[in-house]
Chain A
Amino acid sequence: MTSVPGGAALVRFDAVGLGYGGVRIIEGLTFSVAKGDFLGIVGPNGAGKSTILKAMLGILRPAAGAVVYEAEVHRDLRFGYVPQRHTLDHIYPLSVHAIVRMARYARAGLVRRPGPDDDRAVTQALESIDIVDLAERRFGELSGGQRQRALIARALASGANFLVLDEPTDGMDLKSTHGILGLMRRLNRDEGLTVVFVSHQLNEVANYVDRLLVIDEGRYDFGPVEEVLTADHLRRIYQVPVVVDRVAGASVVVVPR
Chain B
Amino acid sequence: MTAMLEYEFIRTALLGTTAIGVVCAYLGVYVVLRRIVFVGATMAQVSSAGIALGILTGWSPNVWSVGLTFLAVLFFAHPSFGKRWPQDATLGVLFTVSGAAAVLLVAHTARGNEEVVHLVQGNLLAMTGTEARWLAMAFATILAIHLVFFKEFLFLSFDPTMAATQGYRAGRWNLAFYLLLGVGIALAIKAIGILLMFAFLVIPAAMGLVSTRRLGSAIGVAMVSAAVAVFLGIWLSFRYDFPSAPMIIAVLGGLLVLGAAGRGLRGPRPG
Contact = CB atoms under 8 A, between A and B. Distances in A.
Interface residues of A, number: 33
A105 B167 CA distance: 10
B7 interface: no
B165 A93 contact: no
A93 B214 contact: yes
A21 B80 contact: yes
A81 B161 CA distance: 9
A110 B152 contact: yes
A2 interface: no
The residue in B159, B165, B217 that gathers the most chain A C-beta atoms within 10 A of its C-beta is B165
Nearest to B219: A93
A91 B271 contact: no
Nearest to B157: A92
A105 B33 contact: no
Contact of A91 (B149, B151, B167, B209): B209
B158 A105 contact: no
Interface stretch (A5-13, A82-90, A202-210, A248-256): A82-90
Given A93-B209, A105-B166, A106-B166, A111 B161 contact: no
Interface string B140-179: 0000000011011011001101111111100000000000
Contacts of A91: 32-33, 35, 209
A111 B213 contact: no
Contact of B213 (A89, A138, A158): A138
A237 interface: no
Interface in A94-116: 94-95, 98-99, 102-103, 105-106, 108, 110-111, 113-114
Contacts of B35: 89, 91
Contacts of A113: 151
Interface of B: 32-35, 80, 148-149, 151-152, 154-155, 158-159, 161-168, 209, 212-215, 217-218, 269, 271
Given A54-B161, A114-B151, 5 more contacts: A59-B161, A91-B33, A102-B154, A102-B158, A105-B155
Interface of A: 21, 54, 57-59, 79, 81, 83, 87-89, 91-95, 98-99, 102-103, 105-106, 108, 110-111, 113-114, 137-138, 141, 154, 158, 164
7 contacts: A89-B33, A94-B215, A102-B159, A105-B151, A105-B155, A105-B163, A138-B213
